[in-house]
Chain A
Amino acid sequence: MIEASGLIKRYGSTLAVDDLSFVIRPGLVTGFLGPNGAGKTTTIRLILGLDYPTAGTVTVNGKPYQQLTSPMHEVGALLEAKAVHGGRSAYNHLLCLAQTNDIPKRRVAEVLGIVGLGDVARKRSKGFSLGMSQRLGIAVALLGDPQILMFDEPVNGLDPEGILWIRTLMRSLAAEGRTVLVSSHLMSEMENTADHLLVVGRGRLIADCGMAEFIARSSGRAVLVRSPQPDALARAVTDAGASVANTGEPGQLLVRGLGEQQVGDTAFAAGIPVHHLAASRVSLEQAFMELTADSVDYHAAVPAGRSSAHNGMEA
């Protein structure tokens, strides 16, 4: 259980974390989601006692992290994969960390096996690929067999095999009843792994809800319909209680609030011809983008004429 209350972190004039309060409950995979620069890493550093909050408190199992007497047995954390001394072998890296928490040598050998680095244990980590470094970082997190695991952007820069491995690992850790906090700037990363979501933007909490609720709340169902009489169709479905958005394509509408059957029936009743009609579920990625659109620090310039968030959607 991780509890944050009124967390604020200011670096000079930059407000990295702005009044965050949340509870990360045991036995769930909590996705910590936000655009780059939203304050995810800073929050994790605050949880781990690496940085001190400007205001507010955060506790792990009821205590500030720095007061944990045996932190590796309670929390395992993966920060940057390359936060290792490259001149040290994987085995010695793990050993020197294990010794601080009185973890036996055989556990070092064991986690090397779990993450699949047994064969390169005696090699200096300088020569490791990003994927191998990531595995080494995860081995550190697993050393103390903790109930809480935190992974900061674990799939960043990994190849598909590495991504699959980490996803499988996170799922199996959660299946064992552990608390897993995984941060990402990719909504698609969360779709299959997270039970609960914490969404942040510019340091502020935007959403704190279950994955199912997030999907229901922010995407909903929409129907994409094309007609030679779009204005008449828009009036008809609006009268039937739907909301209509223009997709930018001539003659094409995005209808929310009605199912595809109801949209078809409404058009038929009004005598409006329909050339195309299809259900279109707004992807989580788009829902996330809409939700955080106001909180992205640096927007890329949008090409002229195609700025709508709903354009180009095909079911």
Chain B
Amino acid sequence: MAALTAGRARPGTGPTPGLRTALVGALRSEVTKIRSVRSTYWTLILLVLASVAWSIANCAGEAYRWSQLAAQDKAGFDPAQASILGLASLGQLIIVVLGALTITSEYSTGMMRTSLTVMPRRGVLYGAKAAVFAAVSLVIAVPASFICFFVGQRLLASTHVAATLSQPDVLRAVLASALYVAMCGLFAFGLGAILRSTAGAITAAYGFLFLLPQLAKALPSTWYADVVRWLPGGDVIAEITSTAPGQIGTHLFSVWGEFAVFGVYTVAVLAVGAVLFLRRDA
């Protein structure tokens, strides 16, 4: 027991760090948290593998049947989109799980009470958690998008229409797809903070990103056109991943307009989550 005092990290009550120190500490802590559980690796590896596999299957398939395609189909083919659509459409499914788990796993395990005991500044904890998750998802999604793009274009080489990053809108499409994936994750993170349940948050995120756009399709086509531009999960994915977004549908806002719409939803969900996180009993 002599070690109890011998090991004194600091005598007395220790330092009195300001907000900046608290934020740095919380960020380091959240990095340790996210890198020290297996679910992070499983979900991120799955995200990369699924996206790349989709790119390979789709692009190899297109290249294989290229010679049989009608001229009209060839003209409408978007090689960049053929390689990155999988990242956006499959990646969102997977990142939603990680985004929700980042906060809900602390509730399901009881870890949140320990976390809040050592870091009682709840706003700092919440902000650090969201920031670290956003950074991790971007660090994975952006390279994954480029990998999907380059692998896909390599497979499309025989068609002689493979895209390059220097072509108009290609780099934009590759980056926007990754950004979309990260935003889906943050959206699920906010839902996780609100619902404090992994299953609840994932279900709610899927409901918003998949179910609502599908339900909207039951509407008369003129109504659908008015509604779907407000629903990020539907036709918006096709627009974001496209290098000719204007041709996807005149019923949508521009790519960045759609990002703004999704951004407002995401910020709103994150803000509601933050208010509840600050006010509720842990």
Contact = CB atoms under 8 A, between A and B. Distances in A.
A100 B5 contact: no
A2 B113 CA distance: 20
Contact of A97 (B17, B114, B120, B121): B114
B1 interface: yes
Interface residues of B, number: 45
Given A66-B120, A74-B13, A83-B111, A110 B3 contact: yes
Nearest to A111: B7
B281 A99 contact: no
B254 to A, nearest CB: 42
B109 interface: yes
Interface in A142-186: 142-145, 147, 168-169, 172-173, 176
B120 A96 contact: no
Given A73-B14, A172-B1, A87 B37 contact: yes
Contact of B111 (A67, A84, A114, A144): A84
A107 B7 contact: yes
Nearest to B18: A69
Interface stretch (A44-52, A218-226, A236-244, A303-311): A44-52
Contacts of A121: none
Interface in A38-81: 45, 48-52, 61, 65-74, 77, 79-80
Contacts of B111: 83-85
Interface in B204-252: none
Name the 3 nearest CB pairs between A and B, nearest first: A73-B14, A83-B110, A92-B36
Interface of B: 1, 3-5, 7-10, 13-18, 21-22, 25-26, 28-30, 32-33, 36-39, 105-106, 109-111, 113-122, 279, 281-282
Interface of A: 45, 48-52, 61, 65-74, 77, 79-80, 82-89, 92-93, 95-97, 99-104, 107, 110-111, 113-114, 140, 142-145, 147, 168-169, 172-173, 176
23 contacts: A48-B116, A50-B281, A52-B281, A66-B120, A70-B13, A70-B14, A70-B16, A80-B113, A83-B110, A83-B113, A84-B109, A88-B33, A96-B36, A97-B29, A99-B28, A100-B29, A102-B15, A102-B25, A107-B9, A114-B4, A145-B7, A145-B10, A176-B4
